[in-house]
């Protein structure tokens, strides 16, 4: 594994571990070049945070973890899952997508 990919995967894990502490979160989808194994110097990490169905808010934000930009979208399951087709499922509830 190249060092850039390892850095992106480590940043993804930091974000996921932190978000899973939120009781509103029922799942997390990581997508983009990090999942494909081809991040370049301009890549960010795209993460979709799936909220409980009874949550009435959504959120979009960008943050930085270990020098890597993480773009996040928090939303209701109905607004999230219909746009993705999972290719690899790791330990639930995190899904890495193609």
Query: For residue range 30-60, what is the model confidence (pLDDT) as tens digits?
Result: 887 777 777 788 888 889 898 888 998 889 9
Domain range summary for the chain, segments of one domain joined by +:
3-97
pLDDT at 20 over 80: yes
CA distances from 69 to 8, 39, 54, 57, 81 (A): 9, 12, 29, 23, 23
Q: Distance (Å, rounded) from C-alpha 12 to C-alpha 58?
A: 20
Paired strand residues for 61: 72
**What topology does CATH give the domain 3-97?**
Beta Polymerase; domain 2 (3.30.460)
Give the pLDDT band (50/70/90) at residue 79: low
Predicted TM-score of the model (pTM): 0.75
């Amino acid at each position: 594994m190249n060092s850039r990919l390892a850095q992106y995967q480590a940043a993804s894990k930091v974000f996921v571990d932190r978000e899973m502490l939120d009781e509103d979160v029922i799942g997390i989808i990581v997508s983009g070049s990090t999942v494909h194994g081809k991040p370049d110097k301009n890549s960010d990490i795209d993460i979709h945070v799936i909220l409980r169905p009874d949550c009435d808010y959504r959120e979009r934000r960008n943050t930085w973890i270990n020098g890597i930009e993480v773009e996040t979208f928090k939303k209701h399951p109905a607004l999230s899952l219909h746009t993705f087709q999972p290719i690899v499922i790791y330990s639930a509830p995190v899904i890495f997508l193609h």
